Structure formats: C-alpha cells, structure tokens
Amino acid sequence: MAIVFPREIPAVDYVTADFVLRDGVKASPSGARLINYSQVTDPAWEASLVTRGLRYSEFAGVEAWWLSLREGLRRVLFRHPHVCYPKNHGNDHAPADDPGNLVSVASGNILTVNSVAAGLSLVVGDRIGLERAGRYHIGRATEVSGTGTTRTITIDPPPFSTVAQATAVVRFAKPALIMRTVPGSWEPRQINGLYTASFRLVESA
C-alpha cells in the first residue's frame, strides 16, 4: 500500500509532546532606554516529541516513518497525541467531535462560527483548528462567546488568508497542522533493551 503524505505521526505512546508557538519577535535597543520591537518572521508552531521505551519492532516502525520524511522534504500531518479535546470535553467528546463552519473573520482573528453542537463548551486556552483547501491552522482561544449553534471565538495567532475564508471547517477536536521535521533532530537511544526516539517538527505550508 502506497504511503500518503502528509503523513501522521506514529501511533505510539509519547512521554513528551511539547507544542510551543514561536512568534518571531525581536527586540533591539535604540538608545535613550528605548527598545524597538519588530516581527521578523511569521508565528509558527514547534513540536518536540519523545517516545516511551519501545520494543525494537515498534522502534523500527518509528524510524522507518522518520526516514520516509527525508529530513523535512516530505510533510507531516500533526495532531497532538495528548491534548485532543477542549478542556470541558475530556469525557464528553461528542459535542467537540462535531465541526463548525466558519462564517466570517473580523479584525484578523475574531471568528464567527456556526453549525456547532449546541452542547459545545469552550474556554480560554482551548485549541481551535481551521481547514480549507488542504491548508491547516491552529490557534488558541483567547475569548469565547455565544450559545446554541453559533460561537464567536478570538484566536491567536491570527489565521492566514487561505484558511480565514467563509466555509472553512472549524475543528474543536484533534485539530491538525502541516509540519516538517527539523533536520538533525532525530535522536534514538537504547536503554536496557528498550528504544526511545526524540525528534522535532516545525509548522510549514
């Protein structure tokens, strides 16, 4: 069976799955105690993962996955292996599993979303995903309002123009992101007959 890219991360247990936004802001002193702040790159998510101890047969599968990506030439479809649902839906998954529909975006990052489950309960800090035309975005909710089947959600970082369009799919459960491997970040280890692997990913188009 042919491998399809972007390829999801291996379905093994991870002891570490850090997911951090790098905002690309630089500060430079300009004299007289003034500091200039400027955004030099677009915000991008980075993931650092470490597997649990694996039997060699499991480890070999993870290594084969890594090799297939060719140091970042091929893409990964990343879904966080630990934080999959909004805070209030850790046990009651059904309302979050129902995606919403993006109606509009105001001020760059205020989303109006309809067609959500009436029982959906979001709080500040939940991750929200947008999908459109094969492109993906993940933002954290910084403000949430609305009842019934409509919500107004402010997220950061702001979505880029390709996904910030009416009819984009809004995911509340298992939001996905296109990422690439960081070259040279693959580190396998063997301790007491078990193998671990650590690696890093960075958001990509």
The pLDDT assigned to 154 comes to 98
What pTM, to 2 d.p., does this model score?
0.91
pLDDT at 36: 82
pLDDT band at 102 (very low <50, low <70, confident <90, very high): very high
User: What pLDDT is stored for residue 105 in this prediction?
Assistant: 98
Annotated domain spans of the chain = 7-80+178-203, 87-173
Q: What is the CATH number of domain 7-80+178-203?
A: 3.30.200
* Confidence at residue 42, expressed as pLDDT on a 0 to 100 scale: 85
HEC string for the chain: CCCCCCEECCCCCEEEEEEEEECCEEEEEEECCEEEEEECCCCEEEEEEEECCECHHHHHHHHHHHHHCHHHCCCEEEECCCCCCCHHHCCCCHHHHCCEEEEEEECCCEEEEECCCCCCCCCCCCEEEEEECCEEEEEEEEEEECCCCCEEEEEECCCCCCCCCCCCEEECCCCEEEEEECCCCCEEEEECCEEEEEEEEEECC
pLDDT, mean of residues 113-119? 98
- Give yes or no for residue 163 having a pLDDT over 80: yes
pLDDT of residue 30: 78
Given 2.40.30.290, 2.60.40.290, 3.40.50.1980, 3.40.50.970, which CATH number is that of 87-173?
2.40.30.290
Angle CA 180–103–97, to nearest 5 = 60
CA distance 126 to 83: 9
pLDDT at 27: 80
Q: Which residue has the higher pLDDT, 108 or 27?
A: 108
Mean pLDDT (whole number) for 122-131: 98
pLDDT digits (tens, 9 = 90+) for 17-44: 999 999 877 788 877 778 887 776 889 9
